[in-house]
Amino acid sequence: MHAIYVRVSTEEQALSGYSLDDQLSACRNRLFAMGLHDIQAYIDDGYSGEFIERPALDRLRSDLSAGLIHSITFYDPDRMSRNLTVQLVLADEFEKAGANLYFVTGDYDASPEGRLFFSMKGAVSAYEKAKVRERTSRGRRAKAKMGKIVLNAHPFGYNWNAENSMYMINEREAAIIRRIYDMYLNHGMGARTIAIELAGLGVTGRNNRPLSLSTVSRVLSKEMYCGQHYLYKQRVKKVSQTKREIVHNPPELWIPIQIPAIVSRETWLAAQDQLQKNKKFAKRNSKREYLLRGLLHCSLCGRSMTAYGRPSMRKNSPDKIYHYYSCITKESGSYAISGERCNCRRIPVDELDEAVWQCLLDIASGRRSLDEYLIKNITPDYSAEIEVLNKKQTVLRQKRADITRWYRDNLIDAETAEKELQTVQKELAAVISSLAGFQSSQEKIKKPAISPAEVLNAKSFEEKRNLLLKFPYQIHTVRLAEDFEFCFKD
């Protein structure tokens, strides 16, 4: 049912244009225009708009709360009430009951009063929402203070028990977590190595995927795994209409809560100690640069190599950091799990950097030839063609000399000599030109794009690195036993 509400005060009854009949027919026409016919009129004749209590309005509101009304039409907002607050209260009530609100005066939305009305309406509903939110969050905090988990964050290692709002240990995942702590504390592995090792062993987390580095890091750092959890460590803050960001709460706002422990507190504390140490290593270490980073390929499998540093695993020199180049198949969980890890061992960065640079110096100074290191793949060899053309050139030059001699000795006349010489000269020019082409291709094979002088003059890391970036060959390397070897490839 669609409601029309009309009202006139006693003073207005005298004025034209506001008569009940005028209002009624204008409202009806508005509804008819929208194709709505099930209409019920509510008429307050001789009531002021100042107050909310009016007989017809009261009936309208009770029909509304009974769910009988789908829309309410007024001639203008003044018919609803003369008072903005009352207008807002009523508009809010209509909206909550799911009824549409229509005004006949079409330009009302755009008028100053209309704009004020709708912006106030927006403010009122925002206030309402904030109040609801505040009530829920107060409810949540109360729940948290009773030692209950408020929101299930699906942490690795736990299942959710909805009945008593608490995490329960997932034994399969808990076994992996204990193993991670064991690898970290007793076998000197870093989070990254652990992720790779576990993937290599076929251990999977959720969704049958290998554990990511960030999962392993979280397992090692979260206090919840020794049974101490905190709620309200952070909250979501709305920073603009669409953007939200996570804000860390000060510790006095945290709510401590006990959950089932997967490792002992001592174990967790030992891990935090080690994490702290590793962080220091990482900081001190971030300046380390690798001469061949991004330029190396594994000779065994052809894939690229990565470079990284990690602390020593030896107990007596825990402060030392070792840097390695390593075949990507050994460092990425996805290769490990597909069984594609190759047998190339990690190569110490210092040694390979030094060896490759020394090799370039030897080539630049002429002590060694690039050919010793270069493996030619596809570059064609034109030496046979060059040899044929060289012979042909010799023959033609000989012929030219012969013609000259024959003419001098009067064996041929001038006309014949000239003709013969022209032919020979043409052929010779063709041979010389194609020979030059073959020779320059052959030359390119042997000539690196960096000049020997540049190599010999490069002293700083930057200079060396820039030259290597221009080096026209791939550097392939492999280490199977103690020693590594390397070569250049087209």
Q: Are 324 and 347 a contacting pair, CB within 8 Å? A: yes
Q: What's the rounded Cα separation, in Å, for the pair 295 and 367?
A: 24
Find the binder of Zn ion among 199, 298, 336, 389 (CB under 5 A): 298
Instruction: Identify the residue among 180, 198, 301, 307 touching Zn ion (CB under 5 A).
Output: 301
Kindly tell me which of 344 and 356 has the beta carbon lying closer to Zn ion.
Answer: 344
In the stretch 191-210, what mask flags binding to Zn ion with x, by CB under 5 A? Answer: --------------------
Q: Which is nearer to Zn ion, 268 or 335 (CB)?
A: 335
Q: In this structure, which amino acid lies at residue 208?
A: N
Shortest reach from residue 188's CB to Zn ion, in Å:
24
Residue with tokens 């790779």: 196
Find how far residue 151's CA is from the centre of its chain.
26
Nearer to Zn ion, 23 or 332 (CB): 332
Nearest approach in angstroms of CB 450 to Zn ion is 27
Within 460-479, which residues bind Zn ion (CB under 5 A)?
none
User: Long-range contact list for 381-388, CB < 8 A, 24+ apart?
Assistant: 381/442, 381/445, 382/438, 382/439, 382/441, 382/442, 383/442, 385/438, 386/435, 386/438, 386/439, 386/442
Interface pick for Zn ion out of 253, 261, 342, 412 (rule CB under 5 A):
342
Q: Which stretch binds Zn ion (CB under 5 A): 68-76, 153-161, 192-200, 339-347?
A: 339-347
DSSP for residue 342: -
Sign of CA dihedral 197, 199, 201, 206: positive
Q: Which is nearer to Zn ion, 98 or 302 (CB)?
A: 302
What is the smallest separation between the CB atom of 311 and Zn ion, expressed in angstroms?
24
Q: Is the CA virtual torsion 421, 426, 427, 433 positive or negative?
A: positive
The answer to the question of residue 340 lying near Zn ion (CB under 5 A) is no
Spatial distance between the Cα atoms of 191 and 187, rounded to a whole number of angstroms: 12
Beta bridge partners of 73: 4, 102
CB 322 within 8 A of CB 352: no
Residue choice 3, 69, 327, 424 for contact with Zn ion (CB under 5 A): 327
Q: What are the DSSP calls for 140-181, one per residue?
A: HHHHHHTT--SS----TTEEEETTTTEEEE-HHHHHHHHHHH
| Closest CB to Zn ion among residues 74, 308 | 308
Contact stretch for Zn ion (CB under 5 A) within 97-105, 107-115, 334-342, 435-443: 334-342
**Angle formed by the axes of helices 191-200 and 171-186, to 10°?**
130
- What angle do helix axes 171-186 and 265-285 make, rounded to 10 degrees? 50
Q: How far is the CB of 356 from Zn ion (least distance, A)?
A: 18
Among 4, 166, 336, 344, binds Zn ion (CB under 5 A): 344
Which residue, 65 or 338, is less far from Zn ion as judged by CB? Answer: 338
**Least distance from Zn ion to the Cβ atom of residue 337, Å:** 16
CB atoms within 10 A of CB 43: 15
Q: Under rule CB under 5 A, how many of the chain's residues touch Zn ion?
A: 6
Minimum CB–partner distance for residue 259 and Zn ion (Å): 43
Least distance in Å: CB of 313 to Zn ion?
Answer: 22
Query: Residue 9: which of 71, 68, 78 has the closest Cα?
Result: 78
Give the nearer residue to Zn ion in terms of CB position, either 177 or 307.
307
Q: Which one of 11-19, 78-86, 133-141, 298-306 is the stretch in contact with Zn ion (CB under 5 A)?
A: 298-306
Q: Which two tokens stand for residue 345?
A: 């061992």
User: What is the closest distance, in whole angstroms, from the C-beta atom of residue 181 to Zn ion in the complex?
Assistant: 31
Nearer to Zn ion, 301 or 389 (CB): 301
Strand ordering across the sheet containing 71-74: 39-45, 2-8, 71-74, 100-103
Smallest separation, CB 485 to Zn ion (Å): 14
Site track 363-402 with Zn ion (rule: CB under 5 A), x = hit: ----------------------------------------
Match 């894939």 to its residue by tokens: 303
Q: Looking at beta carbons only, is 99 or 298 nearer to Zn ion?
A: 298
Selected range binding Zn ion among 21-29, 130-138, 325-333, 401-409, rule: CB under 5 A: 325-333
Cα–Cα distance, 477 to 350 (Å, whole number): 14
Q: Which helix (H) or strand (E) holds 394?
A: helix 383-408
Q: How far is the CB of 299 from Zn ion (least distance, A)?
A: 8
The single residue among 101, 275, 300, 417 that binds Zn ion, judged by CB under 5 A, is 300
Residues of this chain that interact with Zn ion (CB under 5 A) are: 298, 300-301, 327, 342, 344
